[in-house]
A and B are shown apart, each in its own frame.
Chain A
Amino acid sequence: MNTKMRHTLIAWALIGPIAVVILFPFAVMLITALKPADEVLQPHWWPRNPQWGNFIAMWKATNFGPALLNSLLVSGFSTALAVAVSVPAAYALARMPFRGKGAFRQFLLISQMLSPIVLVLGLFQLVASLGLLDSKLSIVLVYAAFAIAFATWLLQSYFSTIPRDLEEAAWIEGASRTTAIRTVFLPLALPAIAVTCIFTFVQAWNEFVLALTLLRSQESYTLPIQIFSLVAGRYTIEWNYVMAAALVATVPVAIVFAIMQRHLVRGLASGAVK
């Protein structure tokens, strides 16, 4: 047996069982989503009569459309805001010496360490005192604020890998600093910004506890809260619709993430190793 075959056997012997446990919930989602209502509570595995129509019926039954729109709006706007404020901050950290840089870094570290749940009580009071309870604006602002530390750190570690000489050459050519940033730096930084956007978007897309606390009415629910509300404290749960909704909410993001994951790994690697 050659080495690669031996490695393959060892690898799959280790990864196989973990893969089964990872894929099990996906199988459960798909199989339950395809079961007709009268088969859902029967404990056999395969649906005898698969109902692809469940994916359409689910849309109305779970109020999927409005929740999807809310999730898109909240994740989109909070990502845009977080990246818009993090790019300049990361540029300053990567390129400019200034007094208080260390303090700013420490502040970012602390805001990274404080998760929303620790602050949830204070955030609730803050949002309530501004009269923004149940508004999507409050969620956008809070998500953006909590994303800043990671976004700035990730962007900064990428930015410092972009050679400075290119910008300096542009200055010598007579370009102003802003022009140099726009025409030389930003095009090179674009992939890094894209990765940061995707990561921030996925975080917002998946967030649970703040949405649970700050959003009070079903009209403003995002997808995780909407789906949770179909399960929590209900006497009858239409599991086939819930699983269909979970699948539709999950798979597109999972595909995008799987494609972008390689870039993220590289970003984290350059940030960690430096």
Chain B
Amino acid sequence: MNEGTAHSAAGPAQRSAARRRHAVPYLLIAPALVLAAVIVLWPLTVIGNISLHDVNRFGQLRGFSGLANFAELWRDPDFIATLWRTLIWTIGVVGGTLILSVPVALVLNRDFHGRALARVIIMLPWSVSVTMTAVVWRWALNGESGMLNSALRAGGITESNIVWLSSAATAFPIQIGIGILVSIPFTVTVFLAGLSSVPEDIYEAASIEGASSWQQLRTITLPMLRPFMTLAVVLNVIYVFNSFPIIWVLTQGGPANSTDILVTYLYKLAFRFGQMGQAAAVSIIMFAILLAITLLYVRLVTKTEAKS
């Protein structure tokens, strides 16, 4: 398309036609831009404003307070503990997902009996709402009549019932496990896309040269998969960092805030404790963290593009 040449046309009719043609892409993106901007950017400015003010529990501003809300958070031991727990949660879920998804994708990429079935099962959690999954697990983990306890006892693995959700020591690892389970389908999908981009003849050449399948994995497959791993890790970090239902449905961050992560703590501050100013400050801190992760990713991608 060369719309630039239209400028050289002299007549006013052509010029206005050219102008109209220039406007077309902007008209096409306008509805999407306006809708997304109003609903994403406006709340962001509202939150920024609240975070810098003294506010009542209904969110009405009472006077500029500078960084007082942030300072208040910093002195709150629950917030600091939540910050660390969010780090463990994110690294645990994203790392666990990566460790399981690479071998699953490698296996699913090869032909074997029952591959179609295996694929459907692995992808299944993607289609189920995380909320529903968490509700079902809450019931399965019930201390007295939950089916996990009865299954474990029937299998002779444990002797007495475990009250899984009553302490963070058992509840939080289980929440991480469920987080891993629901993140596997997307991650495997990305890796399968990556594996399908590796040309077959590389492997043929490698086996003619006498490379073992372990050597092929280490020197061909994994390096080719690296950009897809970066993509999956970054998207999972963003997704897991923001993930609310698993923790909220199973424990609501309890007992005594001991399984809270930033999102559940933010929700409690805003809608339970009525601490709008501090809730806004948590939002801004989360926004800053997410922005840093995204910029890091953009940097990584442009660097690898420049290299290739």
Report chain A residues within 8 Å CB of B286: 118
Choose from A7, A21, A117, A124 the contact partner of B263 (Cβ within 8 Å): A117
- Determine whether B212 belongs to the interface, using a CB cutoff of 8 Å to chain A: no
Q: Are A145 and B193 touching (Cβ within 8 A)? A: no
- Determine whether B121 belongs to the interface, using a CB cutoff of 8 Å to chain A: yes
Known: A111-B36, A122-B46. A209 touches B149 (CB 8 A): no
Q: Are B39 and A25 touching (Cβ within 8 A)? A: no
Question: How many chain-B residues does the 8 Å CB contact rule pick out?
Answer: 102
- Overall SS of chain B's interface: helix
- Determine whether A1 belongs to the interface, using a CB cutoff of 8 Å to chain B: no
- Determine whether A98 belongs to the interface, using a CB cutoff of 8 Å to chain B: yes
Q: Are A15 and B121 touching (Cβ within 8 A)? A: yes
A152 to B130, CA, bound (A): 24
- Determine whether A205 belongs to the interface, using a CB cutoff of 8 Å to chain B: yes
Q: How far is the CB of B109 from chain A (nearest CB, A)?
A: 10
Report chain B residues within 8 Å CB of A227: 131-132, 135
- Determine whether B245 belongs to the interface, using a CB cutoff of 8 Å to chain A: yes
Contact residues, A86-139 vs B (CB, 8 A): 86, 88-89, 91-93, 95-98, 100-101, 104, 107-111, 113-115, 117-126
Give residues in A with beta carbon < 8 Å to B. Answer: 4-5, 7-8, 10-12, 14-15, 18-19, 21-29, 31-32, 40-45, 81, 84-86, 88-89, 91-93, 95-98, 100-101, 104, 107-111, 113-115, 117-126, 141-142, 144-146, 148-149, 152, 202, 205-206, 208-209, 213, 223-224, 227-228, 231-232, 239, 242-243, 246, 249-250, 253-254, 256-258, 261, 264-265, 268-269, 272-273
Q: Which 4 A-B pairs have the closest CB atoms?
A: A122-B43, A206-B129, A257-B127, A269-B193
Can you list 14 A-B contacts (CB < 8 A)?
A4-B112, A11-B107, A18-B104, A22-B121, A28-B147, A43-B145, A43-B149, A107-B36, A120-B267, A146-B39, A208-B245, A228-B135, A261-B127, A268-B193
